[in-house]
Structure 1
Amino acid sequence: MLEVGPAWEAELIRLSEKEGKSLRATARALGVDVKTVIRHLARLADCRQEENFIEVGQSLIERRTRWLALIAPHPQKGRKELRALGPADYCWLYRNDQKWLFENLPPVKSRKGAAGCRVDWPGRDRELGARVGPVAHAILYAPGRPVRVTISAIGKKLGALGILQRNIDKLPVARASLEGVIETRDSFEIRRVRAAARELLRCGESLEPWRIVRKAHLRPEYPASVAAEIERIIYAFEKGVIHGDEI
């Protein structure tokens, strides 16, 4: 039986950690009680923790020293450039000593052009306001399947969707122009009904409510105003009041 000492502790570590034996089995193999095993394992754990602490402390000093030596000759370089020069020390300090690292980094560079750049909102407002009408007209009379005239559709055509969405309060002229041309859902569906009726007649098909509804891709419960427009178109066409290209 081994006496308590370095060899005994080595055997304790082998049995409990490497072989994964239980406390009782380890105590039986070493000829001691379970409490003795627990006491020595706790002491060994404390020693390891202290050794790790000392090792980390030494590494901390070394890495801080290296980092300061690295940044000293490069006062004009930014954070990314310094990180590229010493990636290992940067990452270690970021994980283990972040507060100190940030105190020893250059300030974050502001984006070029962000400061002091003022937008001429009145001028931008007048420009966009003047372009809204023609763009809306182009959407209304574009060939093919109808597209609803919305702020989104107009903004995309203008290349200014983000400005209209985020800064509409600064664009009173443009906002008034938009409010005068954007379509409600009902008015858009009426326009789709008319386009569907023209297409049916062009293809030689009869005007019947179900055909128009299907061709216009209307939602199942379309509003009464749309139903009334379908009836008006069919009645006017049957009476000869309007022709296909007049719908």
Structure 2
Amino acid sequence: MIYFPSLFPDEILYSAFARYHRDSGNENYKLTMEELFGNTSVCASLLFPSHLTSLCDRMPPGNLYSPEDLINNHTFLPYYTPFIPEKRYFDMKEIMKSSKGTSAYMQIGKPASTVKTQQGLRYCPACVIRDREIYGEAYWHRSHQAEGVFVCHYHPNTLITTNVTLTKQRNKHEFVSLEVTLRNEDLQYNPASPQSFSILKFIAEQTNLLLSSGWNPLGLLKLNQFYVSKLQNMGFANHTGRIRWSDLIPAFNRFFGKQLLIELQSHNEPSLEATWLHKLLRKPRVTCHPLRHLLVLGFLGETIESMTNQISEYKISYEPFGKGPWPCLNKAADHYKAPMISSCEITRCSKTGLPVGTFSCTCGFVYSRKGPDQSIDDRLKIGRIKNFGEVWYEKLRIISQQDISLREMSRRLGCDPKTVINRLSNSKTPIPTAVDQESISYKKEWRELVSSNSELSVTELRKLNQSVYAWLYRHDRSWLHEHSPVNRKSSTKRERINWAERDHQIAKEVQLAANEILHGKSDKLIRVTKTEIGRRIGKLPLLFNMLHKLPETAKQLNVVLETVEEFQKRRINHKAVQLKNTNAIVKRWELIKVSGLREKFIESHHDVISDLSET
């Protein structure tokens, strides 16, 4: 090449190729391909063009562009980069540099994605006017061509969709510039509708940020951890990371609105258990389209920039009770309210599903409360005292000798007056710990429950008082087993199976099913297999797991099952009959084609094909 156009900001590489073709005066697009890449078979690609090393090598002397520059600033790879594995990112760059561009879309996962490529290239009329003033001509902007981008990130108006499309074009080598397109169309200007505009503006701005900021792959695991931690803070996931789908999906749909999500090809049916949202937020096994990552970020109130910063700074842990150290709330200790507790054990409330934090101080005081904390004042709240500790009991012994009221004692110790009475009930014996007192209380409740419901089983008793059973199961399981009713064996007798009778019946059903497959009215031939027979008679597990008890059935299966070769012969005969009904002569090549035979099988069926066809 003796000339290559200078690339404009945010110009997609397809646009530069289109301008080159227009300015070169070539009437044949293949000639343009030869000049650009040295290869006439290269196809016009919008998102992931290939042969970029060849392109840069053929540029005129003084060329300022390298394959890396073109990929980062004028293709769609940066749009996908943060959301794909690092290895795939480098593989994609090598594919785009090389002549093996046919695998690019497969590598990025486009064919399998349910977010389909837009039908026509888009432009912003305000950008057209601005580009003509600054650069002398309009061009296709890269940020306008992403799925889900309906408004301009720079101007508050709707993008115009043209009839220039790469998915349905007849000439796969064709490049069409925006100026050529505008010759046949009036320059339209449509102000954006205020409905859903803020969301569409967010998608457009974040798309432009993805394309222009040069992010690195973030890693699927880190992305998943980030999303789940945010959902935990919003109450849509518990402390272990288990997501509450029945709450999340309706809230997600309400946030965006059903109609907008349908337009963005991203609506989630609440009744389904395998939506794209499930795949994105569960264990990261597959990649997801960047548009859907942007929707999740919008729902979480985050941006690409804030997400990247938090992941890079390792700020993605879930802390329902804030950061430690936490205060000791033992009123009897000198360090009351001082940040003495360095660790917090988080469990899940069995009734509400909310996180429960247990805080243990070196003074022996142990307390817990439900979370997550809503304000800084929540750090000074106690839900339940699990153990008072030696310091508290020592203070109780001291103030019990003083001439003060019961209420004053309870105020100084931070507990209920009845608690003080219980702890002082036997002054001659050591004061039991809170755990011992709980144990006595729970054991008493369990004995009363068992004695008043002697006819019930352990499972039935457990349902009557789950909290008592759960406490004893955790703290004194052996005592619980000793003082629980013995499991009674079921009085109902299981009916014994007459395998001989069943074998005889299933053998008949196998024969009938095989005949149905062989002589069915359907035009589509089906091979007689054990799986197909089992599916039709509704006894697939029996045929695979219990065939050793069904000798007659096994014998019948050996008779009726088709090998691959037998099925191929039946298919050849069937197709030959169909051809004879429409053609006077059945040709050999035609019979082979309609029979769907691979080359390696043609020779093994040579005689059958020869008998049924003419060369």
Q: TM-score, normalised by structure 1?
A: 0.65
Structure 1 position 137 matched with structure 2 position 515? yes
Identify unmatched segments of 5+ residues in structure 1.
1-5, 19-43, 239-247
Query: What is the Cα deviation at residue 112 of structure 1?
Result: 4.9
Query: What is the Cα deviation at residue 165 of structure 1?
Result: 2.1
Query: What is the Cα deviation at residue 85 of structure 1?
Result: 0.7
Query: What is the Cα deviation at residue 228 of structure 1?
Result: 4.5
State the match for 1:92 in structure 2. Answer: 471
CA–CA distance in structure 1, aligned partners of residues 332 and 458 of structure 2: 51
Q: Give the alignment of 1:38-53 within 5 angstroms.
A: 45=362, 47-48=364-365, 51=388
Query: What is the Cα deviation at residue 46 of structure 1?
Result: 5.4
State the match for 1:157 in structure 2. Answer: 536
**DSSP-derived class of the 2:362 partner:** helix
Deviates more, 1:150-159 or 1:207-216: 207-216
Whether the 8 Å CA contact 2:507–2:553 is kept in 1: the answer is: yes
Identity of aligned residues (%): 27
Q: Which 4+ runs in 1 deviate beyond 6 A?
A: none
Query: What is the Cα deviation at residue 102 of structure 1?
Result: 3.8
Whether the 8 Å CA contact 1:196–1:212 is kept in 2: the answer is: yes
Whether the 8 Å CA contact 2:585–2:613 is kept in 1: the answer is: no
Could you say if the C-alpha distance between residues 8 and 89 of structure 1 is closer, same or farther in structure 2, counting changes exceeding 3 Å?
A: closer
**DSSP-derived class of the 1:47 partner:** coil
**DSSP-derived class of the 2:335 partner:** helix
**DSSP-derived class of the 2:338 partner:** helix
Show CA shifts across 1:65-123 (max 9, x none): 21221122223323432222111112223333334334425427559543xx2211122
Whether the 8 Å CA contact 1:186–1:223 is kept in 2: the answer is: no
Structure 1 position 195 matched with structure 2 position 512? no
Residue type of the partner of 2:443? R
Q: Give the alignment of 1:211-222 within 5 angstroms.
A: 211-218=590-597, 221-222=600-601
| RMSD of aligned residue pairs (Cα, Å) | 3.5
Whether the 8 Å CA contact 2:510–2:557 is kept in 1: the answer is: yes
CA–CA distance in structure 2, aligned partners of residues 67 and 226 of structure 1: 78
Q: TM-score, normalised by structure 2?
A: 0.29
Q: Which has the higher contact order (CA 8 A, sep 6+)?
A: 1
Identify unmatched segments of 5+ residues in structure 2.
1-330, 343-360, 367-386, 390-431
Decide which of 151, 176, 180 is 2:555's aligned counterpart: 176
Whether the 8 Å CA contact 1:78–1:109 is kept in 2: the answer is: no
**DSSP-derived class of the 1:76 partner:** coil
Decide which of 330, 335, 350 is 1:10's aligned counterpart: 335
**DSSP-derived class of the 1:140 partner:** helix
Residue type of the partner of 1:140? L
State the match for 2:613 in structure 1. Answer: 234
Q: What is the total number of aligned residue pairs between the two structures?
A: 203
Query: What is the Cα deviation at residue 208 of structure 1?
Result: 4.8
Whether the 8 Å CA contact 1:208–1:234 is kept in 2: the answer is: yes
CA–CA distance in structure 2, aligned partners of residues 59 and 219 of structure 1: 76
CA–CA distance in structure 2, aligned partners of residues 208 and 181 of structure 1: 31
Of Structure 1 and Structure 2, the greater helix share is in 1
Whether the 8 Å CA contact 1:122–1:171 is kept in 2: the answer is: yes
Query: What is the Cα deviation at residue 227 of structure 1?
Result: 5.0
Whether the 8 Å CA contact 2:507–2:556 is kept in 1: the answer is: yes
